[in-house]
Structure 1
């Protein structure tokens, strides 16, 4: 086929190796050709250029002059790779879309939206119910159950507000406030001199108050898996890595400190932070349904600090 090819760029070139979805390949090819235009012969020549390896060998063994139109070429192409055709999807397949563990609301909403475009469900109530049913328990899921949405667009608008607030809260969790200035003593305020006069008492006993040990909570999953969840990991203050041991047990490994010296179940650093997140309600979906009397984490010989 001595046909001049268009000089307009087709963008990133797609190829079909024989294992991809053939309809998706033809759709992408048609979309690129719509930008350049051309005759049926041009379409045939450019489609041939997307066939590497074994797929090109299939085309080469066709008799000369066997293909006369692009529609004929596309039909032969479909017949040859019919097994690569994606199975037919139905609108009720939206109920198969579930939020993954550790998947953010934004990621789940985008993935669900892509499938809605592909499946084209006509029942708005079914789409809303499928989205709510596929969500993991959490604040946004609870708000949807309390005030049930009527349309998928309403879900997207409410999710946009929730995501924006959640991102601002995440940013605030990483902020450290300034140190409160110490008020001047009366003598310093009147004379402008420091160090003169009776000093303030540091505390009633003159010693530092010891911090209460954190509560030990029973979670649905192991601690090393819990701290790996992206939404939770963003709220934890992970200590800097070091080659030094973090305790007396040289064979023990802490996944939070990434260091030897103690086990994560005895790590006070992560225990304090998880205790605060439990008190704030952030980890309520990861706690055991029935918790017994919570035991305090006590400092032992192999505990990390």
Structure 2
């Protein structure tokens, strides 16, 4: 009976070999390393660093570089790298390691290359210079933010030629002045190109700040000009009208101004240009909010009220049409 079972097991193994499938014998208990690897000593006081486990579903190159960097910090030799690496494998990658032929791995570089070839489908796509050429600076994107974005993407392109990076940056940026500046850099590295671009941006920002300070200083020295700009455009001077030509009102203009001062349709005059010490301080103008003349006498207030009447805003302050016609008939101009 035992002999019969052994014959069946032998046939299953032969069939599996013909089909290219692993059998129990393909999982060897012997390590896949050569004698020089097995005899490599561990660093003095070595404690395994917390390297993430690799299951074959992510980029194998990233895992290899992480492992190598952390182990070299502890002074691990090439042979000890080979011996320690299997402790970071799990799942599919552990199955792959278990099938490696005994006495076939003599150095970590070949060990890593085998891992990358086996899990090449898990590698993340590497960006190329073509990707950089497709970048574009948006209309509302600040140049400094765009250069930072370009730099981050360019760092992901392996072995990027500086001239290719320069051409890509020239094609992507919108500023003609920036493009001319970058073209003159003639840098031989990506770091030099980005440093030159950031220097241009720094100069531009400094000039913009200086220009803003000059404008602010000019506005502080000329407050009347700023005040005039913030108000309604100044009206052209019109010939003096006689009092009889204005619409008759049922209350004083000072009272009308007090009643409508909070309304949006009122156009307030610009600040008075004449020096305050040369104006009559006994007279106060509520329309100008300054001294020098009386509110009711101020011609621009008369014109403003007349304009608002014609626009239909102040009809309740107008005396009836009969009195208006009678007044005009008595007027010498009538």
TM > 0.5: no
TM bucket, shorter chain = 0.3 to 0.5
Q: Normalising by structure 2, what TM-score?
A: 0.40
